[in-house]
Structure 1
Amino acid sequence: MSSAPHRIAHLDMDAFYASVELLRYPELRGKPVVIGGGRNAVPEILPDGSRRFARLRDYAGRGVVTTSTYEARALGVFSAMGMMKAAQLAPDAILLPTDFDSYRHYSRLFKAAVATFTSDIEDRGIDEIYIDLSDVPGEPADIGTRIKQAVREATGLSCSICIAPNKLLAKIGSELDKPDGLTLLAASDVPLRIWPLPVRKVNGIGPKATEKLAALGIATVGDLASADLGMLQTHFGRSYAAWLAEIAQGHDERPVVTSSEPKSMSRETTFERDLHPKQDRQTLSEVFTGLCQRLAEDLRRKGYVGRTIGVKLRYDDFHTVTRDLSMPAPTADAAQLRRAATECVKRVALDRKIRLLGVRVSALTPAGEVAPAALPVQAELPFADNA
């Protein structure tokens, strides 16, 4: 008796953060809305009970777009774009602040709804999951429709789902019919639906590889499928070339991983204005302490301790440096994190203004498996000492 065919789904919430905000502000439906403003972007309640919303043209600062509605995307505004550039493209777009507590709440709701169908779920972040539907009875179209309906009933939000033979095709397919899409892909669909796509649509082919492939005349997945393997090996090495050849044919053997340990956790902030290591030392020190405290809270909330502490600094010329330090014992204590991060900062040249500051913890271990050792605390961040 043959085993059931693999049926892997990728579920991606549609414009998730923006869609959550539209539940709160339904009068903004159908309008270009950008998420990523700070406190100044909180809507103003007018005397008649109506709301006055901030406009993107009034934004001033160094922030980036967290996400945008599809109407804003049609104007060229996408996530990770600088807010000032977005304001040039869509000056009349509505600007709203981010509310991650709310997004996490709706994330838990949609994942709980999917879990009523199967526990074979791989969590890929706040707004997407893989689902192994191989053992779920029913036709793929019916299962997908029922999952989408369960998510909508639980959250009031739409999602896009692709059901395919593997994770690679499911991930690509969930983007094909957005928003509110239900896509079914079989191996036989690869030439028609996958090969015409640009190579950047494949998860794992980043901007640098895309640029390198383009220089070789390879723009689409179909181009990659017909490329000479020896040529790919010459330019990308044996391992990556073999992977490129496999994914171009729609092959992927990765299983849905239902439990995974995070590799690292981090906190960082981009300043509204570039800060000087000496003149803005107090502000930098306070921000640095806050990052360490919030990172410690993240670790404790998720039940981890970490042994390797690192810092990231981005200067006003956009040059980025990182430094890390492995401690004798793992910790989730804010003061210990700050002390180790301070040692990392001492190894960085502080000779120009700083645009971004971040703190990271890796080499994570579940907190119940270790007893953290106490470390002495150093109170001040030495920005002035190294300037």
Structure 2
Amino acid sequence: MLPRVSPPLSENPLPRRIAHLDMDAFFASVELLRYPQLKGLPVVIGGGRRKEDDVLAGLREAYPDQDWSAATLDMIPVDFFPRLAGYTGRGVATTATYAARQFGVGSAMGLMKAAKLCPQAILLPVDFDEVRRISRLFKSTITEIAPVMEDRGIDEVYIDFTEVPGGQREGGRVLARLIQKCIFEATGLTCSIGVAPNKLIAKMASEFHKPNGISIVTMDDLQTLIWPLPCRKVNGVGPKADEKLQKQGIVTVGDLAAKERGWLMQHFGKSYGAWLHEVSWGRDERPVVTESEPVSMSRETTFERDLHAVRDRAELGAVFTRLCEQVAADLQRKGYVGKTIGIKLRYDNFQSVTRDTTIEQFTADAATIRREAGLCLKRVDLTRRLRLLGVRVGKLVKAGTDEALTSDYSDSPSANCKDRTPDDHHTHLLFPELD
């Protein structure tokens, strides 16, 4: 099925208005719906979810003299919640409330570092089921108003405002207000929206007035609003590219715009250099794509402590099986099959390695994924301790399509996998079935 996209610029007489919508501190905000008594406090989200019954059982144990028979989560005293102070472990912050961000706590930060910055912050686990439910809810709310929406993750989307009623009024502000209002009514959560002539500027604009803000940016605002920003704010300029830019004395988007196209191509390569020149001048003609096929699906986990392939064989084997089953369930739920199966390891020295193999038949079978991924493990060093383990399935197609069927889709293993020769050093470490 061909993707639905926003109309080409040449065919559209209206000024192009593209919005980037980002839910405000999404994971934390979902938890605050459950625990409204924590609003305004520094809260960090990370770690595994506790069941509500376990939370209330702990409450009754901590306060035995009180009657908690009719207790609900919003009645839990603030002092009952665990703090970050003294945290030890490998957990990573998924997100933090704005009150915690004021202390320097941010997404993807290690919880031990966050504990040093804001020890008084409350630590809450992630409820992925609830996060996914509300994600689907806010996106369906948007498409009822503006149907051309591009899903960019659990908490952000692009929307083509161009031909939607209200999309041109006040530069798109009228429609943005309506969407904010409808999302809040549906979910109880706020979002920030940037509206601009293209996706590039809209994404930067959505950060200008967080939380619950609306930012309207036109090409006339390029020099005053976009050029003063650090290059790192441009989606597509990563830390390595930013470091290289800074070594050349290029710190802001304006510095980038001052460089000639040829100079950028000479120093950063023809393709990336040309792209840097285009984005520094705010040029981006990418359409809003409502449907796109995933390239791969993966699952990974970071361990609370480093694990060793021999001494922690049983634990690693159980985790590996679970990851393979989760990837298989994701594929089956979304109707995909894949041919490339791979692994990802991160050692205790933070070095990461990946290995993959391509099999003959498309599959979404957990046992097949585990078997082929296990064979990939024979091609990596398993003498070092591990801090992360991941499984990936790529080269995806829709199950039941001609491509999947002509490849004789089945659950049988491929004879095309490389490195199948038994290796005594690896064979017995993680997988009893390979003995």
Category of TM-score, reference length = shorter chain: over 0.9
After TM superposition, the structure 1 = structure 2 runs for residues 113-192 of structure 1, keeping only pairs within 5 Å, are: 113-138=141-166, 139=169, 140-192=172-224
Equivalent position of 1:77 in the other structure? 105
Query: Runs (4+) of structure 1 moved beyond 3 Å?
Result: 39-44, 46-49
Q: 1:381: Cα distance to partner?
A: 7.1
2:411 maps to 1:374: yes
How many pairs align?
A: 385
The aligned residue for residue 246 of structure 2 is 214
Q: Distance in 2 between matches of 1:152 and 1:29?
A: 16
| Separation in structure 2 between the aligned mates of residue 234 and residue 269 of structure 1, nearest angstrom | 40
Q: Identify which of 95, 115, 122 aligns with 1:87.
A: 115
Determine the structure 2 residue equivalent to 1:278. 310
Which of 276, 282, 300 is matched with 2:332 structurally? 300
Label 1:13 to 1:384 Cα distance change in 2 as closer, same or farther (>3 A): closer
Shift of 1:384: 6.0
SS at match of 1:55: coil
Is the CA contact 1:269–1:356 (under 8 Å) kept in the aligned structure 2?
A: yes
Give the distance between the partners of 1:374 and 1:187, measured in 2 at CA.
Answer: 54
Q: In the alignment, which residue of structure 1 is the partner of 2:22?
A: 12
Task: Report if aligned partners of 1:346, 1:382 keep a CA contact under 8 Å in 2.
Answer: no
Query: Does the Cα contact within 8 Å between 1:118 and 1:136 map onto a contact in 2?
Result: yes
SS at match of 2:353: strand
- Residue 37 of structure 1 aligns to a residue in which SS? coil
CA shift for structure 1 position 137: 2.1
Q: Which residue of 2 aligns with 1:315?
A: 347
- 1:226-237 equivalences under 5 Å are 226-237=258-269
Matching residue within 227, 248, 268 for 2:300: 268
Cα distance in 1 for partners of 2:100, 2:12 equals 49
CA distance in 1, matches of 2:119, 2:158: 37
Cα distance in structure 2, aligned partners of 1:292 and 1:381: 18
In 1, distance between residues paired with 2:428 and 2:205? 50
Q: Residue type matched to 2:258 in 1?
A: S
Asked whether the equivalents of residues 308 and 362 of structure 1 are also in contact (C-alpha less than 8 Å), the reply is: yes
Residue identity matched to 2:357: L
Which has the larger share of strand? 1
The structure-2 alpha-carbon separation of the partners of 1:132 and 1:349, relative to structure 1 and needing over 3 Å to count, comes to same
Secondary structure of the 1:141 match is helix
Instruction: Kindly state the Cα deviation for residue 330 of structure 1 after the two structures are TM-superposed.
Output: 1.0
Larger radius of gyration: 2
**Counterpart pick for 1:104 among 128, 132, 152:** 132
Unaligned stretches of 5+ residues in structure 1: none
**In the TM superposition, what whole-angstrom CA distance separates every residue of 1:190-220 from its partner, at most 9, and x where no partner exists?**
1111011101000000000100000111101
Separation in structure 2 between the aligned mates of residue 271 and residue 99 of structure 1, nearest angstrom: 18
**2:291 maps to what in 1?**
259
Deviation at 1:133, TM superposition (A): 1.0
**Percent identity, aligned pairs only?**
57
Is the 2:316–2:430 contact (alpha carbons within 8 Å) kept by the matching residues of 1? no
Provide the secondary structure at the position in 2 that maps to 1:346.
helix
Q: How far apart are the structure 1 equivalents of 2:99 and 2:12?
A: 47
Per the normalisation by structure 1, the TM-score is: 0.95
Q: CA RMSD in A?
A: 2.0
Residue in structure 1 matched with residue 429 of structure 2 by the alignment: 383
How many Å separate the matches in 1 of 2:179 and 2:339?
40
Output the CA distance in 1 between the equivalents of 2:400 and 2:412. 19
CA deviations 1:119-159 (Å, max 9, x no partner) are 10100011001001111122111111111101111100000
After superposition, what is the alpha-carbon deviation per residue over 1:227-255, rounded to whole angstroms, capped at 9, x for unaligned?
13232122101111111111111110000
Summarize the Cα distance change of 1:89–1:381 in structure 2 as closer, same or farther, 3 Å threshold.
Answer: farther
**2: CA distance between counterparts of 1:276 and 1:84?**
22
Amino acid at match of 2:411: A
Partner SS state of residue 379, structure 2? coil
Q: Distance in 1 between matches of 2:226 and 2:326?
A: 42
1:200 maps onto 2:232 in alignment: yes
Could you tell me how far apart the structure 1 residues matched to 2:430 and 2:318 are?
A: 14
Post-superposition offset of 1:376: 5.0
1:40 Cα deviation from its structure 2 partner: 7.0
* Partner SS for 1:177: coil
